[in-house]
């Protein structure tokens, strides 16, 4: 059994196609949740991002959060996330849905007051590249857009986000222009781009997009986030984000 332990919860990732990585941990940690009531996690995998938001919400205002809905297409990851949720302190507000986001969005559209004021997503990255390992179908589903195109993802976000809500996505820098165009086509705007790189000496490979209906893609706030200041030593900013999660920082707050 492959268990990743954090300060307040643990993640069983034995079955899921994609395991926990430093980029997903940092992404989950930097998303602001103040005032959020309803959260949607698209392509939730092991449930890591949902659990991180649940922890942050409980620390800010324990009674303000109504629900975190985690939607996952693969049965293996959905089963794993449901177990991770049930063993956590926030099981009552975490809801796992085994379904593709396109079908889920169609159902929610017909239900009143069911949209989300925060949507988070670490979606499949690759649309053109060859499969990393043809024999590892779960990993390929998680990494490639065969089951979730950029257009379908943007359309789903547009239909599920409240008028004043915000979405955060972790994406490769190489698809920046293509993805921003997809967002623009459905009436969404990018408010901020945070490029994440290993250090000041490395080129950023991934980025965080902050998206909403309110904004102008001609006026995007740009930011850079460096993970390490030296070998295996997080920068002060990253350490602040991860200090409530990683075991290595448990006794230095």
Residue 200's pLDDT is 94
What secondary structure letter does DSSP report for 69? E
Mean pLDDT score, 63-81: 94
Axis crossing angle, helix 176-185 with helix 150-160, rounded to the nearest 10: 40
- Give 63's pLDDT tier (boundaries 50, 70, 90): confident
Going by C-alpha positions, the residue among 125, 122, 153 that lies closest to residue 26 is: 122
**pLDDT score of 143:** 44
What pLDDT, on a 0 to 100 scale, did the predictor assign at position 82? 97
Q: In a 10 Å sphere around its CB, with 0-12 CB exposed, 13-18 middle and 19+ buried, how is residue 135 labelled?
A: exposed
Is the pLDDT at 144 greater than 80, yes or no? no
Average pLDDT over residues 156-174: 96
Predicted local distance difference test score (pLDDT) of residue 58: 96
**What pLDDT score was predicted for residue 146?**
59
Tokens of 197: 């790189």
Chain segment 187-208, per-residue pLDDT in tens: 999 999 999 999 999 999 999 9
Please state, rounded to an integer, the average pLDDT across all residues of the chain.
Answer: 89
pLDDT in tens, 87-139: 999 999 999 999 999 999 998 877 777 899 999 999 876 444 444 455 544 44
The continuous run of DSSP H or E covering 175 comes out as none
pLDDT in tens, 16-40: 777 899 999 999 999 999 999 999 9
The two beta strands, 116-121 and 38-42, are: parallel
Give pLDDT, residue 113: 78
pLDDT greater than 90 at residue 73: yes
Q: Does the structure show a pLDDT above 70 at 227? A: yes
Supply the pLDDT for residue 180: 95
CA distance 36 to 30: 14
- Domains contained in the chain, CATH given: 3-249 (3.40.50.150)
The least confident of 42-51, 98-107, 211-220 is 211-220
CA–CA distance, 228 with 219 (Å, rounded to integer): 29
Say if CB 195 and CB 226 are below 8 A apart: no
Residue 65: per-residue pLDDT: 95
- Judged against a pLDDT cut of 90, whether residue 147 lies above it is answered with no
């Amino acid at each position: 059994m492959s268990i990743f332990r954090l300060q307040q919860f643990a993640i069983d990732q034995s079955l899921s196609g994609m395991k926990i990585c430093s980029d997903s941990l940092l992404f989950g940690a930097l998303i602001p949740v103040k005032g959020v009531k309803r959260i949607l996690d698209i392509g939730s995998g092991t449930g890591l991002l949902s659990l991180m938001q649940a922890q942050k919400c409980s620390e800010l205002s324990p009674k303000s959060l109504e629900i975190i809905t985690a939607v996952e297409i693969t049965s293996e990851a959905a089963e794993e996330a449901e177990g991770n949720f049930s063993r956590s302190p926030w099981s009552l507000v975490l809801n796992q849905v085994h379904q593709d986001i396109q079908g889920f969005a169609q159902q929610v559209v017909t239900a009143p007051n069911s949209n989300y004021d925060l949507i988070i997503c670490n979606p499949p990255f690759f649309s053109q590249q060859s499969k990393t390992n043809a024999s590892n179908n779960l990993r390929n589903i998680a990494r490639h857009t065969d089951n979730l195109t950029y257009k379908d993802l943007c359309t789903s976000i547009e239909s599920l986000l409240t008028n004043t809500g915000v979405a955060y996505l972790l994406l490769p820098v190489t698809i920046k222009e293509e993805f921003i165009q997809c967002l623009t086509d459905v009436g969404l705007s990018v408010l901020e781009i945070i490029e994440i790189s290993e250090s000041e000496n490395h080129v950023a490979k991934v980025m965080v997009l902050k998206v909403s209906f309110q904004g102008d893609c001609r006026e995007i706030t740009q930011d850079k986030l460096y993970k390490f200041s030296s070998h295996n030593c997080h920068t002060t900013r990253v350490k602040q984000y991860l200090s409530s999660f990683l075991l290595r920082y448990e006794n230095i707050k």
